[in-house]
Chain A
């Protein structure tokens, strides 16, 4: 029997309804939700970090004040903002440069040569400190740039190649941009990452005190990216005004429509493998909420059915409106729209509720439509029981920060029987064929960018990034097999110190329902985009569209309420609201 954290058991008791065992019986197995294919299809839910952050912002009524917005007709200039979290405040500064020639898809190799560069301070920065940080940013030289521990991170960004200039031109002409322009991109600025967590001298996340509004995992990162969204609107408005006296500002609807662009590469696969307790926790909370939604009693007249219909209508409009640049590596949105329409009709059909739950319908959906549509439906099943999901989300920081340790005094026999025996899929996986071990991840001399090479052909295999959990655990098992069962694990680890991390990984996660990805990331046919999409869905991106098997753009915070709404505590229900027709 797998273990469930006490915290989740307490939440089940608090809410009543299905018991822990009833929930557990309906949770999907790792073979259904932790294969790369299944992970790549999963969608953002109420448990995703963007959504959690948004709820906190609205609940605590965070406020943003513009202290300086000064951009010329070409977008060159500076802005300074102050954010009021309630008890704490922060300064955010941004420097905008002339549009670069490199385009958007330059990745990490582009270094600091971005159109925009911002810095989010931990607290309120003095004018002298602001001037000092602007001077650092001004150089845009990633090698020499250094920040300090009073800065949470830097926010590089690039103007959207598809719509930015057209939007400015339209506004300068005194018009809102045409629908045909707006549909091409959900953002004006694409973020180039959040350079933080100690990088270049920025504050270590562990240095953020407990109770700080940005302490939760990913809150600082995502909040900094949200600030870029506001900058993008100020930038187009200021540029248009500088170009023409008849310029108009971007409408409130479009201000809400545009999110902040994102593009992630295959380095995310390495990050995912580095912290197994992260994806294990993300998967647990998702499947736990889904398991409960399936176990809960539903009558034909239950309000949740109406709620589901309403969300499905929004989702259909949302996917119908979007125009991804490419759909070769995903389920095309047209197909998702078609299938969501079918799902909606099934929700309206009483026969699927004869068993008194969502289970029959969920089975039918899983068997009848594509994986991405099914996952959209599952995400909405979590959404329609918000109080439970919000309580479960409080487990995220707890599960993610669990210590990964092994017990040196345990014998080899105990370790094998109790922990290693839980890893059937990995131990039985055949890694002998060269196809199984085709790829490795490495850092390039170009700013350390993560790339994926082929063994034997490409150099630097001996410095490969850790990504191969299968071989690590198989190697541990093979070494342990050469020791007597009575030998303490400490004796093995002093002979093979490089295996301690694998022993810790196995012991710490063995009894968790979701412990390792059920897929071989080295295989010649593995698509990194699947794990990148999984990561981004957990961050909270509703729409991601791979441009290749290793590069996944998407949009964050599309439809997120304006600062005016946030300050008034409004706009909490923003899932799938980012459709112009609905906003106008």
Chain B
């Protein structure tokens, strides 16, 4: 397979339109494009997920996502075939609300077909000062391209976001006094469970070496030196974008320039 160098910014810019070409609304696509570019830079092979999503949409396998509230800080969420790029940011918003209001929160998400985007969402949470633990029964999560069934993210005193591919520490906020607990694996086989907590308790306790994945450095490197993707993936991304371009005509041409 031929490979080609692309820029991170190229993926976010073209990606925003590509996601619209897949039927995703402007406000959602604009936000999601940043996670797409981030994930492609640090995890790789994410554009294939968009192709998968396109097929799901064409087969009618995508519905409206929904959730049940189990307690004040615990929700169970059915993705209805939607991409994590669509529902992930509002899920992190909910967990941000829970952590900032109650000190912690939990989301069990069912039927996630593209968990490769999870680290980009963890990054978003950590930048807000929210620590996150993600657990899955299956080894379908990834941190910097490494397959795992657990992710923990934190921000250190200098503001650097760090990742671990195992659960290093269960902070006090998650440890007791809840009608739920952090489990060794998610509640159900197909679920990914997300546990959020305010980072203040977590920051000081463990050494940097325990959070061994410096994904921000990988991202910075990708910004500076580009990312290598397959030519097919790059072209597919542009193909999705071009769906949003209107056919031309003399009338259309008269609507540009002079």
The interface of chain A, by Cβ under 8 A from chain B, is: 105-109, 146, 148-149, 197-207, 209, 265-266, 408-409, 442-446, 448-453, 458-460, 463, 466, 472, 488-491, 493-494, 497-502, 547-548, 550-551
Pairs A–B under 8 Å by Cβ, sample size 18: A149-B224, A198-B8, A198-B9, A200-B10, A201-B6, A266-B256, A442-B245, A444-B248, A445-B248, A459-B246, A463-B243, A466-B30, A497-B27, A497-B90, A498-B27, A501-B31, A547-B258, A548-B258
- A201 touching B246 by the CB < 8 A rule? no
Give the total of B residues in contact with A, Cβ under 8 Å: 50
**B89 is an interface residue with CB less than 8 A from chain A:** yes
- A409 touching B224 by the CB < 8 A rule? no
10 further interface pairs, Cβ-Cβ under 8 Å (given A198-B13, A207-B223, A501-B30) = A148-B5, A198-B7, A204-B8, A204-B223, A444-B248, A444-B253, A445-B246, A490-B93, A493-B93, A497-B27
- A490 touching B97 by the CB < 8 A rule? yes
- A453 touching B20 by the CB < 8 A rule? no
Shortest C-beta distance, A335 to chain B (Å), equals 23
Residue of A109, A408, A497 touching B96 (CB-CB under 8 A): A408
User: A553 — nearest CB in chain B belongs to which residue?
Assistant: B258
Mostly, the A contact residues are mixed
- B245 touching A444 by the CB < 8 A rule? yes
Cβ < 8 Å to A, chain B residues 215-258 = 220, 223-226, 242-248, 251-253, 255-258
Mostly, the B contact residues are helix
Report chain A residues within 8 Å CB of B225.
Answer: 149, 207
Known: A408-B96, A491-B94. A451 touches B10 (CB 8 A): no
Report chain B residues within 8 Å CB of A207.
Answer: 7-8, 220, 223-225
CA of A443 to CA of B255, assembled, Å: 11
**B137 is an interface residue with CB less than 8 A from chain A:** no
CA of A402 to CA of B44, assembled, Å: 28
Known: A204-B10, A490-B97. A497 touches B246 (CB 8 A): no
The residue among B26, B30, B223, B258 with the most chain A CB atoms within 10 A of its own CB is B258
- A203 touching B252 by the CB < 8 A rule? no
**B213 is an interface residue with CB less than 8 A from chain A:** no
- B245 touching A443 by the CB < 8 A rule? yes
Report chain B residues within 8 Å CB of A408.
Answer: 93-94, 96-97, 100
- B89 touching A500 by the CB < 8 A rule? yes
- A206 touching B252 by the CB < 8 A rule? no
Shortest C-beta distance, B149 to chain A (Å), equals 26
Report chain B residues within 8 Å CB of A466.
Answer: 26, 30
Known: A107-B257, A149-B225, A409-B101. A497 touches B89 (CB 8 A): yes
The 9 closest A-B pairs by CB, nearest first: A198-B9, A198-B7, A460-B246, A207-B223, A149-B226, A204-B9, A498-B27, A198-B10, A490-B97
**B67 is an interface residue with CB less than 8 A from chain A:** yes
Chain B window 74-105, contacts with chain A (Cβ cutoff 8 Å), 1 for yes, 0 for no: 00000000000011011101101100110000
Known: A107-B257, A445-B246. A149 touches B28 (CB 8 A): no
- B256 touching A459 by the CB < 8 A rule? no
- B27 touching A494 by the CB < 8 A rule? no
Shortest C-beta distance, A142 to chain B (Å), equals 12
Shortest C-beta distance, A457 to chain B (Å), equals 9
CA of A129 to CA of B30, assembled, Å: 35
Shortest C-beta distance, A502 to chain B (Å), equals 7
Shortest C-beta distance, A510 to chain B (Å), equals 18
CA of A460 to CA of B244, assembled, Å: 7
Shortest C-beta distance, B26 to chain A (Å), equals 5
**B52 is an interface residue with CB less than 8 A from chain A:** no
Report chain A residues within 8 Å CB of B5.
Answer: 146, 148-149, 201
- B248 touching A201 by the CB < 8 A rule? no
Known: A490-B96, A497-B89. A550 touches B256 (CB 8 A): yes
**B25 is an interface residue with CB less than 8 A from chain A:** yes
User: A460 — nearest CB in chain B belongs to which residue?
Assistant: B246
- A206 touching B223 by the CB < 8 A rule? yes
Residue of A204, A444, A458, A493 touching B7 (CB-CB under 8 A): A204
User: B26 — nearest CB in chain A belongs to which residue?
Assistant: A466
**B206 is an interface residue with CB less than 8 A from chain A:** no
- A409 touching B96 by the CB < 8 A rule? yes
Residue of B4, B11, B223, B255 touching A146 (CB-CB under 8 A): B4
Known: A204-B8, A450-B256. A442 touches B246 (CB 8 A): yes
Known: A444-B256, A501-B30, A547-B258. A148 touches B97 (CB 8 A): no
CA of A459 to CA of B243, assembled, Å: 13
CA of A550 to CA of B258, assembled, Å: 7
CA of A472 to CA of B226, assembled, Å: 34
The residue among B25, B30, B101, B246 with the most chain A CB atoms within 10 A of its own CB is B246
Report chain B residues within 8 Å CB of A550.
Answer: 256-258
User: B88 — nearest CB in chain A belongs to which residue?
Assistant: A497
CA of A547 to CA of B256, assembled, Å: 12
CA of A345 to CA of B10, assembled, Å: 53
CA of A449 to CA of B13, assembled, Å: 15
User: A208 — nearest CB in chain B belongs to which residue?
Assistant: B224
Known: A149-B225, A409-B100, A463-B244. A453 touches B90 (CB 8 A): no
Shortest C-beta distance, B91 to chain A (Å), equals 7
- B255 touching A452 by the CB < 8 A rule? yes
Residue of A206, A489, A551 touching B257 (CB-CB under 8 A): A551
Shortest C-beta distance, A580 to chain B (Å), equals 29
User: B102 — nearest CB in chain A belongs to which residue?
Assistant: A409
CA of A442 to CA of B26, assembled, Å: 13
- A444 touching B246 by the CB < 8 A rule? yes
User: B244 — nearest CB in chain A belongs to which residue?
Assistant: A463
- A265 touching B257 by the CB < 8 A rule? yes
The residue among B67, B93, B252 with the most chain A CB atoms within 10 A of its own CB is B93
Report chain A residues within 8 Å CB of B20.
Answer: 463
Report chain A residues within 8 Å CB of B244.
Answer: 443, 460, 463
Shortest C-beta distance, B218 to chain A (Å), equals 13
Shortest C-beta distance, B23 to chain A (Å), equals 9
- B247 touching A109 by the CB < 8 A rule? no
Known: A201-B5, A463-B20. A107 touches B256 (CB 8 A): yes
- A494 touching B28 by the CB < 8 A rule? no
Report chain A residues within 8 Å CB of B220.
Answer: 207
Report chain A residues within 8 Å CB of B91.
Answer: 494
Shortest C-beta distance, A450 to chain B (Å), equals 7
CA of A201 to CA of B31, assembled, Å: 22
- A551 touching B258 by the CB < 8 A rule? yes
Known: A206-B9, A445-B246. A109 touches B256 (CB 8 A): yes
